[in-house]
Chains A and B, each alone.
Chain A
Amino acid sequence: MTAAPVAPDAVEFCGIPLAHRVINASGTFDAIAARRAFGDALLERFPFAAFVSKTVTVEPRQGNPPPRLWEQAGGMINSIGLPNKGLRGYLAEDLPRLAELPVPLIVNVMGFSREEVATLVAAFAEREEVAALELNVSCPNVKTGTIMGADPAETAALLDAVRPLSAKPLIVKLTPNCTSPAAVAAAAEQHGADAVSLVNTLRGMAFHPRRPGEPWLGGGSGGVSGPAIRAIALGQVAEVRARVSIAVVGMGGVQSARHAQDLRRAGADLVAVGTESFRDPLAAARVAAGLEQLEHNFPANSGVSGATPPVAQTPVAH
């Protein structure tokens, strides 16, 4: 047998063939709503190589009371609160629409207990519309959501509970709001995760401009995203890459191909665009095209296993 020829630009992520290396950050693009705004032209110019849907929980959630947004230096704070139709509503209403997208679908799930996560993972195990699952163990908007992803032992226990339930690739979305995301990533890898994605938003808050001391956001605090967190994302991706050999999805403040290239050089296999899509729905397509051009000219550390992490083991003063 001769192996089929592989196109030079072919990308594979956890066994899933992708057209390029740029996907969306969960919760930053609603392909169903965007199709209402842009029509089917969206499908012809779909900007992402895979689509990560917004977090699904077992029960429906209305989300946090408004105001939900605050613009701040170099980005924004959101306090959305994971509104979604719940598992039953997602399966009945959203999944058929998302299956019409021209790219593989990754479903992001979150539970308030291991049992709930297990319910969600099991529910998608046999759905052929779903290419992979992303476990949200890191959303800073919902108090209990931080627990599992902030501690390596909790993450390990979660994976022990859900790994046997599905053959689909499991991606653990890491929280930056903990002592060592790299230690959590290592625990995820040891207990069967196929990939990790990072960073989620960093916890933050803002006060009302005219009512001193009163939180602006309806949810009290929220998650900071955008260019303001780019350097933090780059640092955490490099640290995580130094600890794991599974695939890494890097994200945080990516606005340009150069920013994506930086994350690739820090060890990311894929790059996700989040907040920048709010400013331009085709931002990810622009980033992907530019990244391909840059990597054609200056190849990055490609491949997953054994990539040499360009990270100093001791802090270097500048």
Chain B
Amino acid sequence: MSAPAAEGRALAPVGRRLAEVTGFRRVGAYDVVSCDDPGGPPPDPGQFYMLAAAEGWGGDCDERPFLPRAFSVLRRHADGTLDFLLEAVGPGTRRLAELRSGDGLWVLGPLGRGFAAPRQGRRPILAGGGVGIAPLAIWSDRLGAAALVLLGFRDAPHAEGAELIAGARVATDDGSTGHHGLVTDLLHAELGCDARAEVYACGPPPMLEAVRALCADLGVPAQLALESGMACGFGACFGCVVPTRSGYVRLCVDGPVLDAADLDTALVPGAGH
């Protein structure tokens, strides 16, 4: 078992380890890839793993993908199985979406700093958009019934992803499912009723920025799980920096969850491209 770090995060075993893919299923427009991880410690909600297929990734003959890809963990089951949510949009996610049971998957993690418990007496509200709902699933499992979960998607096939979090309320851009509009509409209404909340958000940069601005206006604390292109996941490459009020920080070791109060904007150049 891993010892907790001084700064209170689950530590990753040193080095990547070869896991076996144990399951693959479609959830609407998304894919859920599951793998075993017998040697890995339980992740904190909001932590992430670097993933790379054991075959067809880097090496001498493959052009891309070359670098591993960062994924927030969707869930960890009692037997140690890890679930990851992905949408095949680029060379890395397309290759991962080809994986089937028995295939090898390199995993490194859990990495980074996850969500912190709500400040005294505040009601947790989880707001997610698109594939960014992943860390909210494991976080809502941990928080239990106290958490209100609001999810936004572009259309009905994507909104099927909401089934991954029981009791979630849904908004869609095209109105095909749930509220016709943005997840921040739902969030605004909730905070209007009761601002004694702490908001946890993950999603595309414009959504995170809307959440940040809304919470700043209303004086509601928020924790944002950000995304940035990263090569390593453990602080080596200095590639994943985001600007904060105290300068650039590396999302991989100082995030991916940042306190919204530390940000002037959640629109990070290069993220979500």
Complex interface bits, A182-224 against B, C-beta within 8 A gives 1, otherwise 0: 0000000000000000000000000011100000101000000
Report B112 CB to chain A, min CB distance, Å.
8
A65 to B240, CA, bound (A): 10
Q: Are B241 and A71 in contact, CB atoms less than 8 angstroms apart? A: no
Partner among A37, A54, A210, A218 whose Cβ is within 8 Å of the Cβ of B12: A37
A57 within 8 A of B: no
Q: Are A66 and B108 in contact, CB atoms less than 8 angstroms apart? A: no
A28 within 8 A of B: yes
Chain A residues closer than 8 Å to B15, beta-carbon distance: 45, 280-282, 285
A4 within 8 A of B: no
Chain A residues closer than 8 Å to B231, beta-carbon distance: 69, 76, 78, 275, 278
Residues of A within 8 A of B (CB): 27-30, 32-34, 36-39, 41-42, 45, 54, 62-63, 65-69, 71-76, 78, 80, 83, 208-210, 216, 218, 226-227, 255, 275, 277-282, 285
Residues of B within 8 A of A (CB): 2-3, 5, 7, 9, 11-16, 52, 58-60, 63-68, 106, 108, 111-112, 228-243, 247-248, 250, 252-253, 268-270, 273
Chain B residues closer than 8 Å to A36, beta-carbon distance: 5, 7, 9, 235, 253
Q: Are A65 and B14 in contact, CB atoms less than 8 angstroms apart? A: no
Report A148 CB to chain B, min CB distance, Å.
23
Partner among A69, A73, A208, A285 whose Cβ is within 8 Å of the Cβ of B63: A73
Q: Are A226 and B66 in contact, CB atoms less than 8 angstroms apart? A: yes
Q: Are B270 and A33 in contact, CB atoms less than 8 angstroms apart? A: no
Q: Are A227 and B5 in contact, CB atoms less than 8 angstroms apart? A: no
Report A200 CB to chain B, min CB distance, Å.
15
Partner among B60, B111, B243, B248 whose Cβ is within 8 Å of the Cβ of A37: B111
Residue of A nearest to B106 (CB): A280
Known A38-B11, A279-B67: A210·B238 in contact at CB below 8 Å? no
Report B233 CB to chain A, min CB distance, Å.
8
Q: Are B238 and A37 in contact, CB atoms less than 8 angstroms apart? A: no
Known A76-B67, A78-B237, A279-B52: A67·B269 in contact at CB below 8 Å? yes
Smallest CB-CB A-B distances: 9 pairs = A33-B235, A67-B270, A282-B15, A69-B239, A278-B232, A37-B234, A73-B63, A278-B231, A39-B11
Known A71-B65, A83-B238: A38·B12 in contact at CB below 8 Å? yes
A99 to B212, CA, bound (A): 41
Q: Are B242 and A30 in contact, CB atoms less than 8 angstroms apart? A: no
Known A33-B236, A281-B236: A71·B64 in contact at CB below 8 Å? yes
- Can you name 7 A-B pairs with beta carbons within 8 Å? A34-B236, A37-B253, A66-B241, A68-B240, A210-B273, A278-B231, A285-B15
Partner among B13, B63, B66 whose Cβ is within 8 Å of the Cβ of A41: B13
A244 to B265, CA, bound (A): 52
Residue of A nearest to B110 (CB): A37
Most buried by B among A36, A37, A38, A208: A37
Partner among A29, A71, A218, A226 whose Cβ is within 8 Å of the Cβ of B236: A29
Report A285 CB to chain B, min CB distance, Å.
8
Known A33-B250, A36-B235: A73·B64 in contact at CB below 8 Å? yes
Chain A residues closer than 8 Å to B14, beta-carbon distance: 38, 41-42, 45, 281-282
Chain B residues closer than 8 Å to A227, beta-carbon distance: 58-60, 66
A32 to B235, CA, bound (A): 9
Q: Are A68 and B234 in contact, CB atoms less than 8 angstroms apart? A: no
Partner among B9, B67, B111, B241 whose Cβ is within 8 Å of the Cβ of A278: B67
Q: Are A37 and B235 in contact, CB atoms less than 8 angstroms apart? A: yes
Known A63-B241, A80-B238, A280-B108: A69·B16 in contact at CB below 8 Å? no
Most buried by A among B228, B234, B238: B238
- Supplied contacts A68-B241, A71-B64, A227-B59, 10 more A-B pairs, CB within 8 Å: A28-B237, A36-B5, A36-B7, A36-B235, A36-B253, A37-B112, A45-B14, A67-B229, A67-B269, A255-B59
Q: Are B66 and A78 in contact, CB atoms less than 8 angstroms apart? A: no
Report A286 CB to chain B, min CB distance, Å.
9
Chain B residues closer than 8 Å to A277, beta-carbon distance: 232, 236
Q: Are B241 and A281 in contact, CB atoms less than 8 angstroms apart? A: no
Chain B residues closer than 8 Å to A27, beta-carbon distance: 238
A278 to B183, CA, bound (A): 36
Q: Are A28 and B236 in contact, CB atoms less than 8 angstroms apart? A: yes
A226 to B66, CA, bound (A): 9
A208 to B111, CA, bound (A): 29
Residue of A nearest to B247 (CB): A62
Residue of A nearest to B113 (CB): A36
Residue of B nearest to A42 (CB): B14
A244 to B177, CA, bound (A): 71
Chain A residues closer than 8 Å to B66, beta-carbon distance: 71-76, 226-227, 279
Partner among B11, B13, B60, B229 whose Cβ is within 8 Å of the Cβ of A69: B229
Partner among A45, A80, A209 whose Cβ is within 8 Å of the Cβ of B237: A80
Report A207 CB to chain B, min CB distance, Å.
12
Q: Are B111 and A66 in contact, CB atoms less than 8 angstroms apart? A: no
Report B234 CB to chain A, min CB distance, Å.
4
Chain A residues closer than 8 Å to B65, beta-carbon distance: 71
